[in-house]
Amino acid sequence: MEKIEHKFVEANGLKLHVAEIGSGSSPAVVFLHGFPEIWYSWRYQMIAVAEAGYRAIAPDYRGYGLSDPPPEPEKTEFLDLVADLLALLDALALSKVFLIAKDFGPLVVSLFSLLHQDRVLGFITIGVPFMPPRPPTYHRNLPEGFYMSRWKEPGRAEADFGRLDAKNVVRNVYIMFSKSEIPIAKEGQEIMDLVQPSDPLPSWFTEEDLATYGALYEKSGFRTALQVPYRSMGRQLDISDPKVEVPALLIMGEKDYVLKFPGIEDYIRSGTVKSFVPNLEITFMPEGTHFVQEQSPDEVNNLILNFLRSHN
């Protein structure tokens, strides 16, 4: 990790923290994290693409990690992250880039690719497919204790998370999200109660990794992270034909709990997603969980490099 450099870039009046490695003259690959992640979740991929001759760039979103918080976190929307990404590319003088994202990052990529397709060479999403900007419906078929419904409720997650320090919140979410079942609390139970103090970390996630995440979330808190994605999801944009023609790749773990969201697996396997992204390749990794890029970095790196080489 010592090869990765860090700097701050002014974007939309905020200083965004950016991790970077690779030659400035090389094709750029921008990595967008999810929750409870940060730039660090791309550590293996950044080094791999840099060694293959690309420039790897991984920002922390506004209000995440070392980036400045927005002035009004509760009003932050996905479109703010899209605008930040555009401002970041402009500040770095990058006319076109490859985008790689996971978790809710693919929702940022979906919007960015629809609004600024001329800036995108191609994109890879991990764990979540391209989604047109429409309100989600899967939560209607899930119990009240569905974690996203709980975290959408103002004050509920704050009280739940507030019983623990930031490191243990991240620990619990990593353990929950590494399983193949959707996190759903029972009546009278909170989401953090789904994990016990004795539950082990995933085998591929070290105490050192956890300490790194914990320190970054200790700094940022969860205020913006609860707003985006959980409390700002589902705004519908007036885009008549939400289709993106650039090359794309979806990497899904067969054991990723997201596949249990009502309608998601059918959306992918039926090919419906390709009506929005015609040039989409789809790869399923048999043992992959929601954090497949950290769980199986070599396999994911090979998929990424093959895609980049094919479309560079």
Average pLDDT value for residue range 181-208 = 96
| CA 229/CA 131 separation, integer angstroms | 14
* Band (233; pLDDT cuts 50, 70, 90): confident
* Band (2; pLDDT cuts 50, 70, 90): low
The residues, any chain, with a CB within 8 Å of residue 127's CB and separated by 6 or more, are 34, 102, 103, 106, 251, 252, 253, 256, 258, 290, 292
Q: Are 77 and 235 spatial neighbours (Cβ–Cβ below 8 Å)?
A: yes
Whether residue 36 has a cis bond before it, omega within 30° of 0: yes
Tokens matching residue 230? 């959980």
Catalytic machinery residues = 103, 230, 290
Give percent of the chain with pLDDT exceeding 70.
Answer: 99
CA 150 to chain centre: 19
Average pLDDT value for residue range 6-10 = 97
- Within 13 Å of residue 235, how many CA atoms lie on the same side as its CB? 16
The single-letter DSSP state of residue 209 is H
pLDDT of residue 265: 96
* Band (197; pLDDT cuts 50, 70, 90): very high
**pLDDT tens digits, residue range 21-30?**
998 878 999 9
Q: For the purposes of burial, counting CB atoms within 10 Å of the CB of 207, is it exposed (0-12), middle (13-18) or buried (19 or more)?
A: exposed
* Band (236; pLDDT cuts 50, 70, 90): low
* Band (302; pLDDT cuts 50, 70, 90): very high
Please determine, for residue 19, whether its predicted confidence score (pLDDT) is greater than 80: yes
pLDDT of residue 140: 78
Average pLDDT value for residue range 260-282 = 96
**pLDDT tens digits, residue range 56-72?**
999 999 999 999 999 99
pLDDT of residue 240: 78
Q: Write the CA distances from 57 to 11, 85, 166, integer angstroms.
A: 15, 11, 25
Q: Of 98-112, 122-136, 250-264, 265-279, which range is least confident?
A: 122-136
- Report the amino acid identity of residue 9: V
Domains and CATH numbers, the chain: 5-310 (3.40.50.1820)
Query: Full-prediction pTM beyond 0.85?
Result: yes
pLDDT of residue 239: 78
Please determine, for residue 1, whether its predicted confidence score (pLDDT) is greater than 70: no
Q: Of 32-41, 77-86, 131-140, 246-255, which range is least confident?
A: 131-140
Please determine, for residue 95, whether its predicted confidence score (pLDDT) is greater than 90: yes
**pLDDT tens digits, residue range 105-160?**
999 999 999 999 999 999 999 999 999 888 777 777 899 999 999 999 999 999 99
| CA 259/CA 179 separation, integer angstroms | 12
